[in-house]
């Protein structure tokens, strides 16, 4: 299609803008349009314009009415589009594109207010293009300009993303990011910046072994400084070099199936039920469950009460020993006494192992010396504002130190990793006995020790599962986070690492942990706790137009501002909402413990294809470098039925 001074080289209909922040898009929030690539006056433009559903898209050429024109809406019957928020805000766009004056229309032109969403951008102004993950609603592309703003996401309801990328590759070099296979960096064909660009995306300056060492010493600063390096890359432009040849990189892959419409987007979870939490379990109520021989009775009912209301503070010292597996729910009082005597002897034998090491021996034992130094440093700054640990000569600090060093003797392979002192501190505060606190801590570590493994595979898997749950609960929020380079949920890393220890006030952490230790209503309730927090902050994140750095900053500022009862209530409601869904995908059922784990589909069952996935670069959660999705970590979908011809 040609006109005076311009030529349309690509045109695709069925490309929509989703303009609502609601979880489920209604008809009024979808703006149908046509995407075109146009050669005009020695420039190449990418243009999107809305089109009336009943109109003929072939008649609408590269055109857009001047916003300063007089009659921009000829029809009085069509109501003005009102998305319910500031019109400059789009679901995944915080920066509106600058309007371009176009050629006069030769055919039917969009005359309704939807025309204000039209945009044109020169290909030379593009900085990067992000593709959506296969199997997550309609396929979409997010275009980021050199100025750092995102254009409105283009949702291809009839396919066509691959075809568009192939056309763009005629005019641009599209270099796949080494950290995220779905992010393409855009360079002009004559730019030499491509040959030097990949090092800008590296998360660390050191090799992986040094990174592991840094992470073991300080997982928090290492994690978040690395993540900020990723987000800052998307904010800063790569400056092209004046000389040099461009690297010979392949065009975007064309052997992936176009995701198209996916059935999971149609799964209706139903209304979220109302949940009311109960009062804490008291000593009197606990005593009613103790039988004649000291054996606890009606244990499932007792656990359910702890889950719904927690424990009164005076009861925690006894009840936590059962919740953490130190004492058996089925044992008698005499059996418990014998067990404690045995475990006391075992503890002091392990403690003697490191206590008997002389200073000369320790100088030749770099591992023990490293553990001791790291523990002493961490203990000196753990919960020092708590009265139980305040003061320079506080005996509680000595107990923390001794228990953690003894744990290194108990678990040689894992040893000590920063963050463990955060987990031990509340336990020692409640138990107030060195031996009992040690074995309760060991029970807790049985649940979370994978979080501290050097490979970080457990953390990667948890972040992947968290994103899977959030995708089912709120796909629109996931699309927004993905569009803002936050789709990996890296800001949740600390939450999962130490079970929200630094997010809630100290008394609330005690309540949260004892509820999670019940194992009710199923496994991975801590992931639903994370979903509940994100659900509570959903409107703030989406309606404030936050970018990736602002999202990270906002999440970090939630520390000590959350109500544990509100979060637990919402987490339980989310669980009930999910379990009530008859069409819940099988891999989501696995996470909730509603179905047995399926057989792994690949040699890497923990790999995740999620955008900016943390499963590719240990030990922190940077973007993924995999190029092919793994079915075990993605939503369960029906076989694709879209005609491949729609993608041409």
* pLDDT tens track for 325-341: 999 999 999 999 999 99
- Least confident among 48-57, 77-86, 147-156, 450-459: 77-86
Report the Cα 190 to chain-centroid distance in Å. Answer: 37
- Token pair for 41: 């006056």
- Least confident among 8-22, 61-75, 264-278: 61-75
* Average pLDDT value for residue range 249-278: 60
Find the helix or strand (DSSP H, E) in which 74 lies. none
How confident is the model at residue 22, as a pLDDT?
58
Find the helix or strand (DSSP H, E) in which 465 lies. helix 457-473
How confident is the model at residue 485, as a pLDDT?
87
- Token pair for 330: 């089925």
Closest C-alpha to 534, from 501, 503, 502, 508: 503
Count of alpha carbons within 13 Å of 362, Cβ hemisphere only? Answer: 13
**Could you tell me what percent of the chain has a pLDDT over 90?**
50
**Number of H-type helices and E-type strands within the chain:** 21, 10
- Residue 41 — pLDDT band, cuts 50, 70, 90? confident
DSSP state of 468: H
Q: Who wins on pLDDT, 476 or 605?
A: 476
- Least confident among 161-165, 204-208, 280-284, 458-462: 204-208
Residue 481 in this model has a pLDDT that exceeds 90: yes
Report the Cα 194 to chain-centroid distance in Å. Answer: 29
How confident is the model at residue 313, as a pLDDT?
97
* Average pLDDT value for residue range 152-163: 87
Q: Where are the domains of the chain?
A: 1-18+27-50+117-187, 282-452, 454-594
* Average pLDDT value for residue range 436-461: 96
**CB-based contacts of 116, cutoff 8 Å, min separation 6:** 67, 87
Residue 522 in this model has a pLDDT that exceeds 50: yes
- Least confident among 170-174, 404-408, 546-550: 170-174
Q: Who wins on pLDDT, 607 or 390?
A: 390
Q: Who wins on pLDDT, 332 or 545?
A: 332
**Could you tell me what percent of the chain has a pLDDT over 70?**
67
- Residue 236 — pLDDT band, cuts 50, 70, 90? very low
Q: Who wins on pLDDT, 24 or 343?
A: 343
How confident is the model at residue 208, as a pLDDT?
38
Say how far apart CA 548 and CA 486 lie, in whole Å. 6
Closest C-alpha to 142, from 126, 160, 158: 126
CA dihedral sign, ordered 241, 245, 250, 251:
positive
Residue 609 in this model has a pLDDT that exceeds 70: no
How confident is the model at residue 27, as a pLDDT?
66
Q: Which of 180-189, 299-308, 584-593, 638-647 has the highest mean pLDDT?
A: 299-308
Task: Tell me the CA distances in angstroms from 324 to 60, 236, 346, 382, 400, one per residue in order.
Answer: 68, 48, 18, 22, 18
Mean pLDDT estimate for the chain: 76
- DSSP track, 397-412: HHHHHHHHHHHHHH-T
Q: Who wins on pLDDT, 239 or 24?
A: 24
- Residue 517 — pLDDT band, cuts 50, 70, 90? very high
How confident is the model at residue 95, as a pLDDT?
32
Say yes or no: do domains 1-18+27-50+117-187 and 454-594 share a fold.
Answer: no
Strand, helix or coil at 97? coil
* Average pLDDT value for residue range 123-134: 86
Asked if 127 contacts 186 with a C-beta cutoff of 8 angstroms, the reply is yes
- Token pair for 522: 């199923």
How confident is the model at residue 174, as a pLDDT?
83
How confident is the model at residue 599, as a pLDDT?
63
* Average pLDDT value for residue range 473-483: 91
Say how far apart CA 331 and CA 616 lie, in whole Å. 45
Residue 505 in this model has a pLDDT that exceeds 80: yes
How confident is the model at residue 178, as a pLDDT?
67
CATH 3.40.50.970 for the 1-18+27-50+117-187 domain, yes or no: no
Q: Who wins on pLDDT, 135 or 408?
A: 408
Say how far apart CA 373 and CA 558 lie, in whole Å. 32
Q: Who wins on pLDDT, 215 or 42?
A: 42
How confident is the model at residue 130, as a pLDDT?
87
Task: Tell me the CA distances in angstroms from 297 to 149, 288, 334, one per residue in order.
Answer: 62, 9, 16
Residue 606 in this model has a pLDDT that exceeds 60: no
- Residue 401 — pLDDT band, cuts 50, 70, 90? very high
Q: Who wins on pLDDT, 194 or 290?
A: 290
How confident is the model at residue 137, as a pLDDT?
63
Closest C-alpha to 52, from 108, 96, 105, 100: 108
pLDDT tens for 77-121 read 333 333 232 322 222 223 333 444 444 333 334 344 566 788 889
How confident is the model at residue 2, as a pLDDT?
63
How confident is the model at residue 212, as a pLDDT?
39
How confident is the model at residue 202, as a pLDDT?
38
How confident is the model at residue 268, as a pLDDT?
83
Beta bridge partners of 44: 39
* Average pLDDT value for residue range 165-187: 82
Closest C-alpha to 151, from 88, 100, 95: 95
Asked if 576 contacts 515 with a C-beta cutoff of 8 angstroms, the reply is no
Just give the CATH number of 282-452: 1.10.8.270
How confident is the model at residue 230, as a pLDDT?
37
How confident is the model at residue 440, as a pLDDT?
98
Class of domain 454-594: mainly alpha
Residue 518 in this model has a pLDDT that exceeds 90: yes
Residue 514 in this model has a pLDDT that exceeds 90: yes
Q: Who wins on pLDDT, 632 or 285?
A: 285
Q: Is 585 exposed, middle or buried (0-12, 13-18, 19+ CB in 10 A)?
A: buried
Strand, helix or coil at 117? helix
Say how far apart CA 78 and CA 384 lie, in whole Å. 64
* Average pLDDT value for residue range 341-358: 97
Say how far apart CA 474 and CA 22 lie, in whole Å. 9
How confident is the model at residue 391, as a pLDDT?
87
Q: Is the pTM of this model over 0.85?
A: no
* Average pLDDT value for residue range 420-426: 98
- Residue 58 — pLDDT band, cuts 50, 70, 90? very low
- Least confident among 2-16, 191-205, 264-278, 580-594: 191-205
Instruction: Print the SS3 string covering 44-109.
Output: EEEEEEECCCCCCHHHCCCCCCCCCCCCCCCCCCCCCCCCCCCCCCECCECCCCCCCCCCCCCCCC
pLDDT tens for 8-20 read 999 998 898 887 6
């Amino acid at each position: 299609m040609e006109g005076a001074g311009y030529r349309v080289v690509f045109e695709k209909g069925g490309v929509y803008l989703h303009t609502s922040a609601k979880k489920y898009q209604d008809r009024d929030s979808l703006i149908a349009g046509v995407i075109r690539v146009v050669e005009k006056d020695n420039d190449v433009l990418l243009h999107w314009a809305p089109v009336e559903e009943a109109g003929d898209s072939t008649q609408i050429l590269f055109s857009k009415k001047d916003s300063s024109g007089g009659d921009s809406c000829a029809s009085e019957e069509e109501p003005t589009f009102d998305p319910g928020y500031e019109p400059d805000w789009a679901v995944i766009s915080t920066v509106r594109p600058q309007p371009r004056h176009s050629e006069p229309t030769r055919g039917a032109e969009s005359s309704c207010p939807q025309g204000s969403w039209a945009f044109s951008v020169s290909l030379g102004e593009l900085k990067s293009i992000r593709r959506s993950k296969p199997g997550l609603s309609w396929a979409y592309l997010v275009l980021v300009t050199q100025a750092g703003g995102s254009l409105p996401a283009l949702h291809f309801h009839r396919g066509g993303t691959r075809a568009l990328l192939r056309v763009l590759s005629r005019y641009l070099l599209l270099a796949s990011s080494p950290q995220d296979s779905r992010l393409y960096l855009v360079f002009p064909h004559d730019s030499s910046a491509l040959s030097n660009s990949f090092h800008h995306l590296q998360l660390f300056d050191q090799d992986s072994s040094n990174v592991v060492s840094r992470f073991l010493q300080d997982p928090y600063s290492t994690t978040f400084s690395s993540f900020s390096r990723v987000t800052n890359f998307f904010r800063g432009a790569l400056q092209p070099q004046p000389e040099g040849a461009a690297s010979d990189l392949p065009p975007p892959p064309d052997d992936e199936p176009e995701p198209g419409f996916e059935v999971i987007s149609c799964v209706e979870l139903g209304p979220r039920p109302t949940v009311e939490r109960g009062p804490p379990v008291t000593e009197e109520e606990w005593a009613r469950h103790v039988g004649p021989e000291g054996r606890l009775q009606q244990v499932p009912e007792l656990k359910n009460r702890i889950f719904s209301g927690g424990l009164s503070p005076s009861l925690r010292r006894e009840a936590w020993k059962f919740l953490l597996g130190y004492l058996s729910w089925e044992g008698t009082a005499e059996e418990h006494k014998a067990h404690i005597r045995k475990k006391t002897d075992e503890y002091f034998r392990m403690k003697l192992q490191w206590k008997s090491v002389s200073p000369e021996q320790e100088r030749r034992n770099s591992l023990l010396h490293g553990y001791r130094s790291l523990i002493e440093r961490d203990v000196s700054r753990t919960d020092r504002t708590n009265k139980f640990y305040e003061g320079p000569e506080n005996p509680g600090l000595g107990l923390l130190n001794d228990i953690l060093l003894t744990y290194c003797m108990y678990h040689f392979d894992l040893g000590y990793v920063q963050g463990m002192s955060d987990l031990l501190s509340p336990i020692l505060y409640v138990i107030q006995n060195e031996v009992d606190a040690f074995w309760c801590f060991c029970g807790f570590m049985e649940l979370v020790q994978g979080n501290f493994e050097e490979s970080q595979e457990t953390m990667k898997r948890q972040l992947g599962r968290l994103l899977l749950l959030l995708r089912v609960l709120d796909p629109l929020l996931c699309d927004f986070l993905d569009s803002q380079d936050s789709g990996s949920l890296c800001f949740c890393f600390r939450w999962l690492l130490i079970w929200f220890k630094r997010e809630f006030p100290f008394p609330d952490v005690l309540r949260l942990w004892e509820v999670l230790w019940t194992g009710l209503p199923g496994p991975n309730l801590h992931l639903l706790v994370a979903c509940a927090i994100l659900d509570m902050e959903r409107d703030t994140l989406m309606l404030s137009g936050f970018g990736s750095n602002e999202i990270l900053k906002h999440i970090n500022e939630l520390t000590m501002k959350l109500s544990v009862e509100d979060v637990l209530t919402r987490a339980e409601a989310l669980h009930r909402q999910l379990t009530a869904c008859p069409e819940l995908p099988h891999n989501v059922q696995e996470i909730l413990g509603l179905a047995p784990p399926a057989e792994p589909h690949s040699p890497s069952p923990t790999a995740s294809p999620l955008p900016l996935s943390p499963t590719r670069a240990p030990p922190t959660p940077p973007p993924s470098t995999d190029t092919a999705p793994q079915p075990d970590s993605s939503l369960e979908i029906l076989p694709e039925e879209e005609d491949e011809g729609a993608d041409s």
